[in-house]
């Protein structure tokens, strides 16, 4: 795999490999998707030993993206993990969002709030909304709306590094019609949505905690934030402004 100077696969970098005129880029806006529900037991089933499961392994290297404020990273570095059970200093979610995710269940006894959320695209709709100021959104906290987009950081992991119990969704994890799929079923769901508008609405949920050893790269907006993050971790930190501008 060839990486550009920004720490991305060369062909996925809009700066180093610009799209032809008129072609959509990785940061192009797309319409929101309509989600559907599967019966929870079926959605959580894990496929083993099937012919379709083998080629899906190649998807384990695909990237997932966790967005947080740089002010939260010192605590993350100290704990050595992204944790679902710790209230961050900079809480980006509104009270409404927290309530919805606590009441939505991935499986009996496991609410969405018990998982660490990742986007499946650096151009995810919720992230675009936040970095654009989220002016009319009830999903983000006042503090999140007041922050500059350049004060956020993006922690990048491979899907396969987030554990066999990571859950792929095809929409907002707190949505009533959103489907959940774990393990090989999750990879199948990701394979179906990865090149569609649905991927911009989707999430990947990692249960409870994600060790920093599972993070491959931290994307930041500028040198100032890069130096701040580098002082706290040995993880590769790359400046990639397109991720942070609306």
pLDDT digits (tens, 9 = 90+) for 195-205: 899 999 999 99
* Residue 31: Cβ-neighbour burial (10 angstroms; 0-12, 13-18, 19+): exposed
Q: Give the contacts of 99 (CB within 8 A, at least 6 positions apart).
A: none
Considering the entire predicted model, what is its pTM? 0.79
Distance CA 71, CA 228 (A): 10
- Residue 3 pLDDT > 70: no
Q: What is the CA radius of gyration of the chain?
A: 17
Query: Which CATH number fits the domain 60-244, given the four candidates 2.40.37.10, 1.10.260.30, 3.40.50.300, 3.20.170.20?
Result: 3.20.170.20
Scanning the structure block, which residue is given the tokens 């192009």? Answer: 28
Query: Minimum mean pLDDT among 24-33, 52-61, 146-155, 190-199: which range?
Result: 24-33
- Residue 23 pLDDT > 60: no
CA 137 from chain centre, in angstroms, equals: 19
Q: Residue 238 forms beta bridges with which residues?
A: 219
Query: Minimum mean pLDDT among 14-18, 113-117, 229-233: which range?
Result: 14-18
- Residue 46 pLDDT > 50: no
Q: Enter the DSSP assignment of 136.
A: T
User: What residue segments make up the domains of the chain, in order of their start?
Assistant: 60-244
Q: H or E element: which one contains 99?
A: helix 95-103
């Amino acid at each position: 795999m060839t990486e550009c100077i920004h720490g991305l696969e060369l062909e996925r970098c809009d700066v180093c490999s610009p799209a032809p005129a008129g072609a959509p880029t990785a940061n192009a806006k797309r319409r929101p998707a309509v989600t559907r529900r599967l019966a929870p037991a079926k959605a959580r089933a894990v496929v083993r030993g099937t012919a379709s499961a083998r080629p899906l392994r190649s998807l384990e290297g695909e990237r997932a993206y966790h967005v947080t404020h740089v002010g939260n990273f010192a605590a993350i570095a100290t704990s050595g993990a992204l944790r679902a059970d710790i209230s961050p200093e900079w809480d980006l979610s509104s009270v409404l969002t927290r309530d919805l995710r606590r009441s939505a269940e991935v499986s009996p006894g496991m609410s969405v709030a018990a998982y660490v959320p990742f986007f499946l695209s650096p151009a995810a709709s919720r992230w675009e909304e936040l970095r654009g100021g989220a002016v009319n959104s009830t999903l983000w906290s006042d503090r999140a709306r007041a922050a500059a987009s350049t004060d956020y950081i993006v922690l990048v992991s491979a899907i396969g590094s987030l554990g066999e119990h990571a859950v792929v969704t095809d929409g907002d994890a707190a949505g009533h019609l959103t489907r959940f799929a774990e393990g090989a079923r999750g990879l199948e769901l990701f394979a179906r949505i990865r090149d569609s508008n649905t991927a911009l609405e989707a999430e990947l949920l990692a249960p409870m905690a994600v060790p920093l050893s599972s993070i491959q790269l931290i994307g930041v907006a500028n040198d100032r934030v890069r130096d701040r993050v580098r002082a706290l971790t040995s993880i590769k930190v790359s400046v990639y402004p397109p991720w942070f501008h609306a």
